[in-house]
Amino acid sequence: MPLRLPLACCTVALLLGAAPAGAVAPAPGERIAAAVSAGGVDVSGLTVEEATQRLEGQRSRLEAGSVTVQAADLLFKLKTKDADASFDVTRSVKRALFAGRAAAGAAVDVPLAVTYKQRAVRGFTARIDKRVSRAPRDSQLVITLRSVRVTHSRTGRDIDSRALAKRIGKALVDPRIDRVFKVKLRKVKPRVNALARRREGRTVITIDQSAFKLRLFKDLKVRKTYGVAVGQSAYPTPNGRFAIQNKQVNPVWSVPNSPWAGELAGSTVAGGSGANPLKARWMAIVNGVGIHGTGEGGSIGTRASHGCIRMHVPDVIDLFPRVPVGTPVLIGR
C-alpha cells in the first residue's frame, strides 16, 4: 500500500508547496524515485519534464469539469471554473520529487496541488439546502368561539450542507473521487405533534361576549353551554386567549382600590360573606378578571360586571370541577 503523504514527516512543507527544509532543487535530468505517484497518477522514474506532461492530463478534469449533486430528485451542478479551481502542475511534480527522496524506497502518493474557493462551494451547498429543505410544522390548537380543532404536524427535512461541502472539496482536488453525489435527506421532527396538542386541548373554555355564552369543550367537542354576564362598557371584559390561573371555593374578595367599590375600596371581604359578590366559586383568568358565581341572577345575559364573567351559582358550581388549572380560555365577540 502506498504511503500517503500526510503521514510523512515532510507533510506540512509539501502541502504548502514548498520544499522540505534543506531540500536541494531538482537537478537536470533527475528522476522521481520509484513507487511514487501524484493524485493516483504514477510518476515514478520520470524526470520533472516528463512528470509534468503526464500530470497535464488531469488539468481538464480539475479545472474544466463539474460536480453534480442529486437531492430530493433534483439535480444541481457546480462547474469547477465557478469555484476558481486551479491546478498547479509544477508544484505537484515537485511534491512527488521531494517525497520520493524522503521515502527511502517506500511507496508514496502525494496530493495534487489544487486550489479552489471554499466560499463558492459553501454557497453552492447552501443553495441546495435552501432549495430542498423544508421546515417542520408543529401541530396547532386552533380555538374559535364556536369550535376547537387540532392541525396536523409535518416532518421537515434538510441536508448536512457542511459535510457535503467537505465531500465536494475533496473531489475538487482529487481526480480519483467520483464527482456525482447523492445526498441523503435528514428528517427534522416537529416539536409538537397532534397528540400533544389534543392533550393540551382536552378542556377548553370560550366566552362569546356578544352572545353572553360560555362554552365548555371536552376533547374538541362542546359539552356544556352556560349563560353569562360580561363587563360593562366602562369596565370591559378583555378579549384574547388566556388560561385558568387558579381556582378557589368561596373565594375571598380583595376589593379593587377603585371609586366604583365605594367604602369597600382596598379592603378584603371574607368568602361566603353576603357583601362578597364572588359567590361560590372563582376561576382566575387575567389581571383580576375571572369567572365566578353571582347573587344578581338577573344580570346574566347583559353587560353588568366590572370585567369579570358572572354565572348563575348552580352553573359555576357545575363548571368548577370540570375545569383544571391551565385550561385555555378564549374571550371574544
Residue 269 is inside which H or E element, if any?
strand 268-269
Measured at the alpha carbon of residue 258, what is the angle toward residues 271 and 214, in degrees to the nearest 5? Answer: 60
Q: Which of 9, 10, 152, 292 is catalytic?
A: 292
Backbone angles phi, psi at 75, to 5 degrees: -110, 135
Hey, which residues does 312 pair with through a beta bridge?
Answer: 294
CA distance 241 to 238: 9
CB neighbours of residue 163 within 10 Å: 11
Annotate 43-88 with three-state secondary structure: CCCCEHHHHHHHHHHHHHHHHHCEEEEEECCEEEEEEHHHHCCEEC
Backbone angles phi, psi at 323, to 5 degrees: -120, 105
CB proximity list for 329: less than 8 A, separation 6 or greater? 204, 205, 206, 207, 241, 242, 243, 244, 285
Q: Which of 10, 152, 308, 312 is catalytic?
A: 308
10 is catalytic: no
3-class state of residue 29 by DSSP: coil
9 is catalytic: no
CA distance 22 to 198: 75
Nearest CA to 305 among 314, 296, 318? 296
Residue 315 is inside which H or E element, if any?
helix 313-319
Place of cell 445526498: 183
Residue 319 is inside which H or E element, if any?
helix 313-319
Measured at the alpha carbon of residue 15, what is the angle toward residues 14 and 17, in degrees to the nearest 5? Answer: 65
Cite the active site residues.
Answer: 292, 308
